[in-house]
Copies of this chain bind each other. A is one copy, B any other.
Amino acid sequence: MAPSTVPLGYYIWKRLASLVTLLDQIYDVPELTWIGTCNELNGAYAADGYARIKGNPAALLTTYGVGELSAMNGVAGAMAEHAGMIHLVGMTSRPIQKAKALIHHTMYPEMDHAIYIGMSEPVRKTTMAEEIDRVLIEGVKSRLPVFIYIPLDIVSVQLDATRLETPLDTTIKNESTDVEDEIVKSTLELIKSAAKPAVLADVLTIRHKGRDLMRELVDLTHFQSFSTPLSKGVIDETLPTYGGVYNGIASFPGVADAVHASDLVLNIGPLLSDSNTGGFTRFIKDEHLVYLGHEYCQVQGKKYDGVHLLPVLKKLVEELKKDTGKYNIPRSPKSTKIEVPILSNLKSGKIEQSYTWQRLGKFLKPNDIILAESGTAQFGMPDATFPPNSQFITQIFWSSIGYTVGACLGALVAAKELKHPGRVVLIVGEGSLQMTVQEIGSYIRYGFKPIIFVINNNGYSIERAINGPKQKYNDVSMLWDHQKMLEFFGARQETGIASKSYRCETVEELEKVLTDEDFNSTNSIQ
């Protein structure tokens, strides 16, 4: 017989385990896995990357003060980009806190051990030491970071064990299904009469687990469909109806024109930040817009506050499935593919920016998970065409450099748990790599075999492009020997961990590697 109470620490871990189980139907995962990272910021990045691939928030466990402050930038990124995260903070016991003791990790003048709780307030959705269930559900549903502070002396406090028998309900529901029906109905009417309808699928669709629904929508309607820099990969880019990456005036020729010429844009899950809208040059008239967001929906200027996109999208797809013909689908003329211009025909000599990104795109295979670091990789990779079922991780809104090196660890863990068939490909500049490089050691430690492209362009190139092309503050050390990196971090003969490493300065050298069968197979970390 189960005891009627369980310790609080056990309760939290059990609830977290149940979340994994519950949400992914991975009933055969009996326990959570502890993944230690080299530092807290990298840990937060890893938790963020995990969530983006797994679809559920990961739990990040740190100590108070030093740990939670170091992680804070990573948590803030998860907040800004809706990646979700459950941040557990181990604290001093309550009597010690009350006594305001000068314990390590605390500060003058007030010696308030909980001072950091206030500091992180803007980067979290809520905080709660006891209402564990409520906080966990909120964290999963909102895709925003939640915090649980756990004083040392409460870990063994006994909680009601019978609660664990009731699974957490993390389904996203709107208050009124009538409002959902109204939005769906007017949208269907607009679909029926539109001459040139389009789908613009943005990143919050992915975050709120609408990826599959989005693909169904595109497959059912055959509308010309667009992604954004942050959502790239959400639409199958090999589809004949794929329109490209819509990024305002920074889009490829014809893309923005096509979006702006549409008399109906179904815009799902938007995140309207500067780098995701071509620097705020997105121009879609309200009369042509159906906006399904995480905070509100809007149809032709009529706003429905507090209505979440997911149930609406689900109903919309269900209605369309019943009878596409009823909604004038497919219609003629058929929407056409917008061809991506070829930016470079370089066949030999020194590698150039214009050649790099589309070439790396060709290297990708279906199901690959691609991480593009802030900077040139992030701005360059949207120029590439992705194969079907690509998943793209980039932090173009929060833009914390070094992010992908940590996030890649989380993506690797998630891909392993999901038995994901694709490769994990990390593309990172040498300057960003220096921020968080130690986590490469964690890939090796945990036996992962990603392909890592280190784009060594002698400093912070994106910053040089913005300001100070020759200023020393945009320099980073050019002394690192990346060919020795995997060896240093653990892939060596004596450890029995295989690795391969190549240095390519010319197109010929890079072509040789990219077309190498062994390199493509990811038999080892490379």
Contacts and interface: CB of A to CB of B under 8 A. Distances in A.
Given A274-B102, A477-B441, A38 B435 contact: yes
Nearest to A491: B479
Interface in A365-407: 396-402
A36 B70 CA distance: 19
A80 to B, nearest CB: 4
Contacts of A479: 441, 444-445, 489-491, 495, 497
Interface in A142-183: none
A261 interface: no
A272 interface: yes
Contacts of A492: 481
Interface stretch (A71-79, A209-217, A350-358, A420-428): A71-79
Given A477-B441, A477-B442, A122 B105 contact: no
Contacts of A69: 72-73, 76
Counting contact residues on chain A (CB < 8 A from B), the size range is 35 or more
A107 B76 CA distance: 8
Contacts of A296: none
A341 to B, nearest CB: 26
A442 B477 CA distance: 7
Nearest to A483: B488
B39 A476 contact: no
Interface string A411-448: 00000000000000000000000111110011011000
Contacts of A400: 65-66, 70, 105
A365 to B, nearest CB: 29
Interface stretch (A113-121, A128-136, A320-328, A515-523): A113-121
Contact of A481 (B108, B121, B437, B487): B487
A485 interface: yes
Given A72-B69, A484-B484, A492-B481, A103 B36 contact: no
A108 B398 CA distance: 11
A27 interface: no
A475 B119 contact: no
Given A69-B72, A477-B444, A479-B444, A39 B402 contact: yes
Most B CB within 10 A of own CB, among A435, A441, A479: A479
A77 B445 CA distance: 30
A224 interface: no
A123 interface: yes
Contact of A477 (B118, B123, B445, B480): B445
Q: Which 4 A-B pairs have the closest CB atoms?
A: A479-B490, A69-B73, A66-B400, A445-B477
